[in-house]
Amino acid sequence: MTRIMAVRGVLPQHRYAQAEITAAFAGVVAAHGADGALLQRFHRNAGVDSRHLALPLPEYARLADFGEANDAFLREAVELGSRAITDALEGAGLRPGDVDLVTCTTITGLAVPSLEARIAARLGLREDVKRMPLVGLGCVAGAAGVARVHDYLVGHPDDVAVLLCVELCSLTIQRDDTSTANLVASGLFGDGAAAVVAVGDTHPGAGGAPRGEAGPARPSVLASRSRLYPDTERAMGWDVGATGLRIVLGAEVPDLVEQFVGDDVEKFLADVGVRRDQVDWWVCHPGGPKVLESMQKALGVDREALAVTWDSLARIGNLSSASVLHVLADTLAGRPPRPGSYGLMLAMGPGFCLELVLLRG
């Protein structure tokens, strides 16, 4: 059984109200024939009040090409990722030298060597630390990363593992793309990072800590399940072009959630011997208002059950893979789950796919 010792989310310092971002982007895409009224409607309907951006807002217009955007990604992602891991290790009461495995997810920039390799020496990770970069999973990668870390720790129960998710979505927005997908994405996605520190069940920290005012809960990971839906490759992802990463975001995504997620949750829980009415808390990826409404229908819950997710969407937007970890951190720190209660983490991403992770408080 894996014990989550700490979850920490970090954000860039540049925070803007949604209206400021809308106005700035409208001026850029208007030159390419975008409908300004349509853009404003998409941004208003995104459920986002403010977002944090990797760069000051005026600097985006000065990025000449994909190369410059990716250089900015590398610089800022290493900074944010370093902060996230440092904060999470401190929260867990562990040191960089204690880490046996570091897993890193990102989909918003290209890094070879990967981000965790660039961060390792900077933080003082051991020279024999195992690395597992996960690429191409997009929004599902936060939950999938927790699941894969759990898989590793089942086989290495004495070890310490770190999951890092870094996403700088603002650096992928295309200024010459007037498609609905790009206009919607420009109002929905923000920038941020998050890190999870977990230990195997024979590590000295696996016993947890007394619950109290000193810190958040330290839940256990009990099981996980991956679900890949056939013939849905074009529902979500990237098209790679001369100017960078062009988003693929199909209108069918909310329908896919409503159609499949409920049954998949029921089957997963039945297989692990848990009834759905025993799930007390939900940690859902904030895919956007329509996706969350479909999620509520699929799970048979009301808006209050996903209140932490709705709040995260409003405060910081959709951070791709890092978002569900921000929701987990907010859940554990804000209203800690009752000891022994069941929680379920859910996220969807390119594939189209679903990842489920069963947690216990």
Phi-psi region of 316 (alpha: psi -120 to 50; beta: other; left: phi over 0): alpha
Residues ≥6 apart with Cβ < 8 Å to 330: 9, 308, 311, 312
In contact, 229 and 352? CB cutoff 8 Å? yes
Task: Give Dmax (Cα) for the chain.
Answer: 60
Return the half-sphere exposure (C-beta side, CA atoms, 13 A cut-off) of residue 16: 21
In contact, 137 and 144? CB cutoff 8 Å? yes
Q: Of 139, 165, 284, 353, which is the active-site residue?
A: 139
Q: Closest Cα to residue 312, out of 49, 64, 1, 26?
A: 49
Angle 115-123/66-92 helices, nearest 10 degrees? 50
d(CA 208, CA 325): 19
Classify residue 198 as exposed, middle or buried by CB count within 10 Å of its CB (0-12, 13-18, 19+): buried
d(CA 28, CA 31): 6
Q: Is 165 a catalytic residue?
A: no
d(CA 62, CA 65): 9
The C-alpha torsion from 13 through 17 and 18 to 21, rounded to 10°, is -70
d(CA 229, CA 352): 6
- Residues annotated catalytic, as ranges: 139
